[in-house]
Structure 1
């Protein structure tokens, strides 16, 4: 018995000395199993929302590079920048010797993703489709980064806040909402988009929810025909700007006529990260102001 105990102690010492760790696996948002021989220690994020997810999951210390606009939290601003959504510096990424790259399937160009795949490095595709999946993403990235305890705590806190927001606003009198992604061309979202989940959670009804495309192009005439009661959109400075130019002077467009325009900071509402709940709260409060005026 003493001999077995001694062998066990020696084995633990050897494992610690060699840094041997068990393999880790997690499903990404495309349903692919990502398996690493050990928790990732050098992670490259090639999407701003992925950078936020990694830091929120307790893996900020392992992130060795990000991309343009990957600027939250403040610590992310100190990281090397290896490109943007359209162009990545593949040589620099390879030189960093990452053991995991977190990508955005519909945010990074297909050509750039193909070049990343050619590096034969593990890729985790991150694209939460609703608000609940953001919390789930924290847990899965925590598994791959070996920061499960921190990631689970963050996901639990996120789930609690999300549930509270839905309890407060989801059953409020419904409002018909047109969410404008961009004005030239005129882009909106269908009901499979995380922003549509925010709208539902605030008691809103997305007037283009049944569209087939995730981000469809619509005409001004189609928007008028949908008869929205609220126009919601985003801007850098949360104020009405040129993005609302298609609607100026249209007195028959109810959101303009009744001042039912809700603007939310772009970096909050456009990133599938825990800060999406800040955007949702602002959206809900904006809807409440519209209800009060009605």
Structure 2
């Protein structure tokens, strides 16, 4: 009888499932995990996973050089969040061969980021909340699209860096954010994802706006000599966008969209469009 009572007392503890253990291998998947309600389940993240701030307290098991496979295995994750195209394919394949579930994420738009949040939410304790968060993002995007409907395109140059002078083509981030605001990328047709260009190539394309991440100084020195040739310079249509919002396909990018759209509207107004 005594043994039977002891067994009954132990049953709730035995039946209680262990919390899901999640590892994120990129900064953007770390953000998406928190958005999906998996923040408390994270046991390790990648380098530069700095948002939300509590992610900084977690162990780092990946960086631009690769993934610490041994440490990942030691942490016994139930789920690994990977950046398809960013994390090394061979190392991810090795994790899968070891029987570890890998969720691949590579959003090409904020709609796809919302889809990722909803899918990840199915592993959380509150999938309905994750779906609501995803729906809120979709609605915000639709509101932007409606507000921009019918507005003329604005030719722009995105100055990713100045030494060397880099930008992105029409198929790579952050292009989807500029698309939402009616931006026309002057290097959209480049064959390289992030082409290195010359000042002369920018000048001959005559952008009406120049954008750059606020992690860099305003590129006045580079463009001031070209004021007579580049409308963006002549009309002081050179705008900074918050890099932390701009660079990752996460809900925070909606704040970058607000900045970009406001700048595009200013350009249109000044040009009489």
Q: Same fold (TM over 0.5)?
A: yes
1:253 maps to 2:253 = no
Structure 1 gap segments, 5+ residues each:
1-13, 21-38
Matches within 5 A, 1:20-59: 41-59=20-38
1:240 to 218, 227, 241: 218
In structure 2, C-alpha distance between the alignment counterparts of 1:149 and 1:200, rounded to whole Å: 30
Q: Is the 8 A contact 1:228 1:255 kept in 2?
A: yes
Note the residue ranges of structure 2 that are not aligned, 5 or more in a row.
1-10
SS in 2 for 1:172: coil
Look up the SS of the partner of 1:66 in the other structure. strand
- Deviations 1:261-285, CA, capped at 9 Å, x for gaps: 1211111110010111111011111
Deviation string, structure 1 residues 141-192 (Cα, Å, up to 9, x no partner): 1124454212101001111111112212243232101122222332222222
- State the shift of 1:78 in Å: 2.0
Per the alignment, residue 27 of structure 1 pairs with none
Structure 1 window deviating more from structure 2 (58-67 vs 221-230): it is 221-230
Aligned partner of 1:224 in structure 2 is 203
Q: Say whether the 8 Å CA contact 1:166–1:201 is kept in structure 2.
A: yes
Task: Identify the range of structure 1 (118-127 vs 258-267) with the bigger mean alpha-carbon deviation.
Answer: 118-127
Aligned-partner Cα distance in 2 for 1:221–1:154: 44
Q: What is the alpha-carbon distance in structure 1 between the residues aligned to residue 27 and residue 144 of structure 2?
A: 25
How far residue 73 of structure 1 moved from its aligned partner, in angstroms, is 1.2
SS in 1 for 2:47: coil
Correspondence 1:164 to 2:151: no
TM-score by length of 2: 0.84
Instruction: Name the structure 2 match of 1:206.
Output: 185
Distance in 1 of aligned mates of 2:224 and 2:28: 32
Q: Give me the whole-angstrom Cα distance separating, in 2, the residues matched to 1:81 and 1:271.
A: 19
Contact 2:37–2:125 at 8 Å: present in 1 too?
A: no
Alpha-carbon RMSD across the aligned residues, in angstroms, is 2.7
Task: Provide the residue aligned with 1:191 in structure 2.
Answer: 170
Deviation at 1:62, TM superposition (A): 0.9
Matched positions, count: 260
Deviation sequence 1:43-83 (CA, Å, 0-9, x none): 11111111111101111111111122211112222222223
